[in-house]
A and B are shown apart, each in its own frame.
Chain A
């Protein structure tokens, strides 16, 4: 049966074009790939190639015709043994209307994003011994325990092995697990992040350490485009069970390029989980959870917190749920939500406020994404007042996200506008006095809480 050749769309947006020139005449033989015509679009002159073999039976649109709509028959191709008399019976190349021309489907209701049920922290059995360790030791213990339990877990990064970690987080791991599983990399964040993601796509569970997350800017394409999106782009076939960890945020006097909090950055991305612990117990329990998690997890640590000590329950397998906030201090007058090093300001402010007769509830978010908003809202329902505290920049911050969602979901419970305390809107300065000014401080948190309490 003769085949109709249709006016093709030659760009994602083309709807019509000019059939500027025929390069084949009626009676000419054509093979697949032969150029048969030239078409002018709004952007360029394009060639039309034959898909099927045959003889041009009839040219339906004259050269020079403007405004030929996409999918209009422009010629008829006769196949072996057919004559011009068969043209009337021509069938179009494809029997069905193009998707672009199909009536727009009625806006079907899309179920809201399903919320995963996140369990609460496991109960600590009565009589469990509490040991005081640093955040640094807690992180190391978490990795060591998971590496003992699963041969697929390995750690890679700059100075993680022989040097024992730039910040000594991987101390002792090389001695216990050897160079196969504790891998020193060259200083090539983009490359080794990609290698880690590739290994994770095969089912291994890499822990990629960035000496600081500032350097992960070189690798952010793999974190987002390769790790976070693959599960979705593959229709669920393949993901990347990988942990990217390292210090984020300001340390001390290291200036603009080394002092930046990435919590808000990564929390923007669907397909990632973002964890930022404050205490050693949370650091341990959440890092163990991150390593076991089948998704890519961004694990943001803080250089200043590494040396701080906290009590950690002495249990064989202490794992905490990712996505669950922790009420750090119970109070009734106002709620402070913070995370990571921001908690240090919140805790000190709460002590000062107590002396002034204001009883503050502190929520340690622990996980930035998925965000445990229900815990925040429960607290706001009780206190009616909310202050957020973080070291990151103020625009599009974690605090502004919390403020927006609480305003949308718990407006009627608020007795005062939500205030956000954040780092100042400047690159981190080097000079000691300016650096101090650029970071949030306890006084600002105290002032903010008093303001929402109208005191």
Chain B
């Protein structure tokens, strides 16, 4: 067996890299009390939602594939804090966290997971295929890497329409090796499209570690041959993500073309629900959880700065749990789609 890398996130952190032109990189955004509380609440919602989804999967309410986002919450929550109305988001199959962060309803997501009519896709899409025109969320894609070309197309549309919106195309370290990613990089750079490519490097493409699949493991530099700047970011620290997001969004909005953010992150759970995760050690997982957990980091700061008491945080926990419990109840009691839905939504 190949030796495992057990470097912690902090040792791979952006701060270790020299700052590059036009981009401070590795900076930590100053968070107000309100921002910390918002980040705490949103990350906790994703965490609790995913735990509940895992539980419902275990009980047979959720079928097929179910990829949980636990551990990676700071990435999408931090990015979302930098966006404005009309900015678009697209991602792969590990998408529940992105949808919640985009403001899509917990009920709608959970009921889609259970395949019920109140699901965001009326029960016809499932875990990997949900969309929201209203929230500018373009899926939820089950084909690894497809969202990168599609997300570049969203940016193309923004430029075509002459607005200043940006699109965020999330993909994993596994997808980063797909050919269409580089076709997209080329066109995005050629046409200066406002797209932020966010590589969520959680170290494993299913069961294959980055070092076993990638000749160049610094994904932030994967755009180098197209002249696309890229930066590594501590994806476990929501403030670092927000700081990078602010700069990247500004870069895109000001017409400088695409940019790559490599988020150094970690998924605590297996690739999908049926993955025993034997390709990594328990110590590695435990170390990440105990030393770098994105939610615990915020919680510790809130308490340390006296911005929230334990009781206040417990109140947030309760509110989040209530939202999740409500979504789970709904997702179990909502009826399955009407059988007539079999033949709807094929053509307009």
Contact = CB atoms under 8 A, between A and B. Distances in A.
Interface of A: 6-12, 14, 32-33, 35, 43-49, 51, 70-71, 93-94, 96, 98-101, 105, 108-114, 116, 154, 180, 185-186, 188, 190-204, 221-222, 225-226, 230-239, 270-271, 273, 294-295
A44 B278 contact: yes
B340 interface: yes
B332 A198 contact: no
Contacts of A12: 63-65, 274
Q: Which of B54, B153, B160, B346 has the most CB of A within 10 A?
A: B153
Closest 9 A/B residue pairs (Cβ): A198-B153, A194-B149, A8-B58, A191-B183, A98-B60, A235-B122, A11-B274, A100-B60, A198-B150
B230 interface: no
Interface stretch (B21-29, B72-80, B132-140, B297-305): B132-140
A271 B343 CA distance: 11
A202 to B, nearest CB: 4
A contact face: mostly helix, strand, loop, or mixed: loop
Given A186-B183, A294-B348, A194 B59 contact: no
Contact of B186 (A6, A191, A233): A191
A93 B276 contact: no
Contact of B340 (A9, A99, A110, A201): A110
Contact of B154 (A35, A191, A202, A222): A202
B143 interface: yes
Contact of B152 (A9, A154, A195, A221): A195
Contacts of A190: 149, 179-180, 183
A93 B348 CA distance: 42
Contacts of B122: 235-236
B342 interface: yes
Contact of A237 (B90, B132, B190, B342): B132
Nearest to B153: A198
A198 B345 CA distance: 19
B58 A235 contact: no
Given A192-B183, A198-B150, A237-B132, 16 more contacts: A7-B58, A11-B273, A33-B289, A49-B54, A98-B59, A191-B187, A194-B153, A199-B157, A202-B138, A204-B161, A222-B149, A225-B146, A231-B348, A232-B346, A235-B119, A235-B124
Interface in B42-91: 47-48, 51-52, 54-61, 63-65, 70, 88, 90
A105 B336 CA distance: 10
Q: Which of B90, B119, B184 has the most CB of A within 10 A?
A: B184
B174 interface: no
Contacts of B48: 32
A237 B125 CA distance: 11
B138 A193 contact: no
Given A111-B340, A191-B180, A51 B52 contact: yes
B130 A234 contact: yes
A99 B183 CA distance: 43
B162 to A, nearest CB: 9
B201 interface: no
A36 to B, nearest CB: 12
Given A51-B51, A195-B153, A199-B156, A236 B344 contact: yes
Nearest to A225: B143
A277 to B, nearest CB: 20
Nearest to A15: B60
Contacts of B125: 233-235
Contacts of B59: 6, 8-9, 70-71, 93-94, 98
Given A10-B274, A114-B343, A198-B138, A94 B183 contact: no
A237 B328 contact: no
B345 A235 contact: yes
B60 A101 contact: yes
